[in-house]
Amino acid sequence: MNRGTSRTALSILGVIELPEATIYYFSGTGNTWAIALLYKEALETAGWQVELAAIDGLAGTPEVRGDLLILGYPVHAWNMPFLVREFIESLPERKGLKAAAFMTMGAISRGAPAITWRLLAEKGYEVLGVEEYVMPTNWVLGERAGTEESFYALREEAAKKARQAVADLVAGKVREVAFVDSEIEFSETSYARFRRAFPKWAGEFTVGESCTLCSLCVDLCPMNNLRMEGRTVVYGKECVLCLRCINLCPERAIEWRDKTQTIGRYQAPGFAKAIRAAR
């Protein structure tokens, strides 16, 4: 991240301090990235200086600077992807730092907001809220409902909600989340069970003859789980099941079992271009 930028700005009254926020996010197919960009824009409009960084692009221990930390991620199996949890656990403790989070999802998050709140609070942070945004689902390993019109409407609704959430953050308003033990338990056990299936499921992606060996999937996998072997792409077992590879392949050459042949692929508009440019 660029840490060289000054936090100060010149005004006719002299030098003023700008409040500073850091947004960390993980995004498999761009929904969370799109909301993170909206947060950044809304904070900047409100006069904040914002650092935006993808968790999977970071090297070394994450820094927490400024006045507000914001974390964004996609809901996976009613919980956070394990690399997001590992990221939160690696954050430094800082008593009283203001923090907030948001998640994007296809439908429902169950205990995920409470789990997120608790993990951030355990770092000593003062949590202001954990927002949920329903977005088009990127789960293409089976039935998938929705039309382009409905996806557009979801994104518009989420954008409106995000601007309000940022206005509340700037005003320092706290938005409580429900802590229901049975929901938290459900999310924790569901994700643990789901995660055990990753190595097997990652082994069930296949790459077909339309593959042009462009190496995009290899370059963009957040887990470095793909490699070129001769004239084919090979999957390893270190998969977080973000579905970036299957959704972003420009040739639609990747399938999963016999479940994806008739199903459309998904990415938030502009995501592949942006992520390629960032690497």
Ligand X SMILES: Cc1cc2nc3c(=O)[nH]c(=O)nc-3n(C[C@H](O)[C@H](O)[C@H](O)COP(=O)(O)O)c2cc1C
Binding site for ligand X (CB under 6 A): 27-32, 74-78, 104-108, 135, 137-139, 241-243, 268
What does the alpha-carbon distance between residue 197 and residue 217 come to, in Å, rounded to a whole number? 21
Among residues 99 and 105, whose Cβ is nearest to ligand SF4?
105
Q: Which does 121 bind (CB under 5 to 8 A by kind): ligand SF4, ligand X, none?
A: none
Q: Which does 97 bind (CB under 5 to 8 A by kind): ligand SF4, ligand X, none?
A: none
Among residues 28 and 111, whose Cβ is nearest to ligand SF4?
28
Q: How far is the CB of 132 from ligand X (least distance, A)?
A: 9
Q: Are residues 130 and 73 in contact, defined by beta-carbon separation less than 8 angstroms? A: no
Q: Which does 116 bind (CB under 5 to 8 A by kind): ligand X, ligand SF4, none?
A: none
Measure the CA angle with vertex 276, ends 275 and 279; round to 5°. 90
What does the alpha-carbon distance between residue 260 and residue 136 come to, in Å, rounded to a whole number? 17
Long-range contacts of 36-39 (CB under 8 A, 24+ apart): 36/70, 36/72, 38/159, 38/162, 38/163, 38/166, 39/70, 39/72, 39/102, 39/162, 39/165, 39/166
Among residues 8 and 232, whose Cβ is nearest to ligand SF4?
232
Q: How far is the CB of 87 from ligand SF4 (least distance, A)?
A: 15
Q: Name residue 63's beta-bridge partners.
A: none
Q: Which does 138 bind (CB under 5 to 8 A by kind): ligand SF4, ligand X, none?
A: ligand X
Q: Which does 9 bind (CB under 5 to 8 A by kind): ligand SF4, ligand X, none?
A: none
Q: Are residues 275 and 150 in contact, defined by beta-carbon separation less than 8 angstroms? A: no
Q: How far is the CB of 9 from ligand SF4 (least distance, A)?
A: 40
Q: How far is the CB of 121 from ligand SF4 (least distance, A)?
A: 29
Per DSSP, 142 falls in state S
Q: Which does 32 bind (CB under 5 to 8 A by kind): ligand SF4, ligand X, none?
A: ligand X
Q: How far is the CB of 198 from ligand X (least distance, A)?
A: 9
Q: Are residues 81 and 240 in contact, defined by beta-carbon separation less than 8 angstroms? A: yes
Q: How far is the CB of 138 from ligand X (least distance, A)?
A: 4
Q: Compute the CA torsion angle 273, 74, 195, 215 (nearest 10 deg).
A: 0
Which residues of the chain form contacts with ligand SF4 (CB under 6 A)? Answer: 202, 207, 211-217, 221-223, 225-226, 233, 235, 239-245, 249, 251, 253-254
Among residues 41 and 251, whose Cβ is nearest to ligand SF4?
251
Per DSSP, 2 falls in state -
Q: Which does 123 bind (CB under 5 to 8 A by kind): ligand SF4, ligand X, none?
A: none
Among residues 188 and 251, whose Cβ is nearest to ligand SF4?
251
Q: Which two tokens stand for residue 153?
A: 């409407």
Among residues 22 and 29, whose Cβ is nearest to ligand X?
29
Q: Which two tokens stand for residue 91?
A: 């954050």
Q: Which residues contact 148 (CB under 8 A, 6 or more apart)?
A: none
